[in-house]
């Protein structure tokens, strides 16, 4: 009867939350008091244990419901999921001659510090003695794999030294211009370098010599092929790219760095910041960074 009167009272009169808690308290008292005289002390202790637990639970709930400070509402607000994270361009790093994917450790770390996830930063190693056309086919495989998993995620391209040649071959000859929105070259051998004559008989080195058939075809008609945005970073103190103007591309955003050496272009903090900002100017589809 007590429970019936309580439910009827609450549902029919729609009392505010504070009245409901008063009703709960009265219900507890009405349920406990009539049985107390008939119980021994031992029986009373046993009988009241579950009632005491229930009473504490009810009173605690009432205290949270009637909390005037609004802490309950704040706690609920704190449980709301954070807003979705904005997508970042996926960065595929491609090393150059006589190197490996490990060369990108510094730049990858800086991208991560600026909010990129590990899954948005990809490096790999390849046989740098093979033709740059072969490396370009490997780049295509990497980009295709990324797009299969992240069909709508932007990807971007950055290159350094010989890696610039394979990345640009990919955008010009292997359909990369439709998959890639940004190509960045750091100390790129875009028009070759005379120092390539010292790196042996590897076909990749032969292709890097100024005036090679590979470079003549790569730079014919349009040096910044297709829709991607192209940016170059070059140093007047580069000891590998000779002539140093070889790093520049007609139609690209060409950026001269401070007087730093060839390998420093993928280590220098200011170069990194400039590259990062270039990537963030738009939503590129592919970002490849390559280093020699």
Instruction: Walk me through the domains of the chain, giving residue ranges and CATH numbers.
Output: 2-78 (no CATH), 90-291 (3.40.50.1820)
CA torsion through residues 92, 116, 182, 227, sign: positive
Q: Mean pLDDT across the stretch 128-152?
A: 95
DSSP secondary structure letter of residue 220:
S
Predicted confidence at residue 80, as pLDDT, reads: 75
Task: Indicate the pLDDT class of residue 171, thresholds 50, 70 and 90.
Answer: very high
Task: Indicate the pLDDT class of residue 50, thresholds 50, 70 and 90.
Answer: low
Q: Could you read off the pLDDT of 7-40 as tens digits, one per residue? A: 444 444 444 444 555 555 565 555 555 555 555 5
Predicted confidence at residue 85, as pLDDT, reads: 78
**pTM summary value:** 0.72
Predicted confidence at residue 243, as pLDDT, reads: 97
DSSP letter string over 61-91? HHHHHT-TT-HHHHHHHHTSPPPPPPP--EE
Judge residue 34's burial from the number of C-beta atoms within 10 Å of its C-beta, 0-12 exposed, 13-18 middle, 19 or more buried. Answer: exposed
Predicted confidence at residue 77, as pLDDT, reads: 61
Q: Could you read off the pLDDT of 254-282 as tens digits, one per residue? A: 999 999 999 999 999 999 999 999 988 75
Q: Mean pLDDT across the stretch 114-124?
A: 92
Tokens of 28: 């507890």
pLDDT: which is higher, 200 or 210: 210
Q: Could you read off the pLDDT of 67-96 as tens digits, one per residue? A: 555 566 666 566 777 788 777 898 999 999
Q: Could you read off the pLDDT of 187-207 as tens digits, one per residue? A: 999 999 999 999 889 999 999
Task: Indicate the pLDDT class of residue 287, thresholds 50, 70 and 90.
Answer: low
Tokens of 177: 């211009």
**CA 53, CA 182: separation in Å to the nearest integer?**
65
b/e burial code for range 69-90 (CB count within 10 A of at least 16 → b): eeeeeeeeeeeeeeeeeeebbb
In contact, 142 and 274? CB cutoff 8 Å: no
Say which residue the tokens 């008091």 belong to.
33
In contact, 172 and 184? CB cutoff 8 Å: no
Predicted confidence at residue 284, as pLDDT, reads: 44
The percent of residues in the chain predicted with pLDDT above 90, rounded, is 58
The three-class DSSP label of residue 29 is helix
Residues 6+ apart with CB under 8 A from 150: 90
Calculate Rg over the CA atoms of the chain: 34
Predicted confidence at residue 5, as pLDDT, reads: 42
């Amino acid at each position: 009867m007590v429970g019936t009167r309580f439910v009827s009272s609450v549902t029919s009169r729609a009392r505010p939350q504070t009245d409901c808690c008063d009703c709960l308290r009265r219900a507890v008292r009405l349920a406990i008091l009539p049985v107390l005289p008939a119980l021994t002390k031992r029986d009373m202790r046993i009988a009241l244990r579950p009632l005491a637990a229930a009473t504490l639970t009810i009173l605690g709930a009432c205290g949270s419901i009637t909390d005037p400070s609004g802490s309950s509402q704040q706690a609920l607000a704190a449980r709301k999921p954070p807003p979705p994270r904005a997508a970042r361009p996926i960065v595929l790093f491609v090393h150059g001659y006589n190197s490996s994917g490990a060369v990108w450790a510094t730049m990858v770390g800086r991208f991560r510090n600026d909010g990129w996830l590990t899954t948005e930063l990809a490096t790999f190693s390849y046989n740098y003695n093979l033709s740059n056309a072969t490396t370009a086919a490997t780049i295509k495989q990497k980009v295709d794999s990324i797009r299969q998993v992240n069909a709508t995620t932007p990807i971007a391209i950055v290159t350094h030294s010989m890696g610039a040649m394979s990345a640009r071959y990919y955008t010009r000859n292997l359909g990369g211009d439709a998959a890639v929105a940004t190509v960045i070259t750091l100390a790129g051998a875009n028009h070759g370098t005379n120092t390539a004559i010292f790196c042996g008989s590897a076909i990749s080195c032969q292709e890097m010599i100024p005036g090679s058939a590979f470079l003549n075809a790569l730079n014919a008609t349009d040096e910044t092929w297709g829709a991607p945005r192209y940016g170059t970073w070059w140093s007047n103190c580069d000891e590998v790219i000779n002539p140093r103007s070889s790093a520049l591309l007609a139609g690209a955003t060409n950026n001269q760095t401070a007087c730093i050496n060839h390998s420093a272009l993928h280590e220098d903090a200011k170069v990194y910041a400039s590259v990062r900002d270039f990537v963030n100017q738009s939503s590129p589809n592919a970002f490849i960074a390559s280093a020699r």
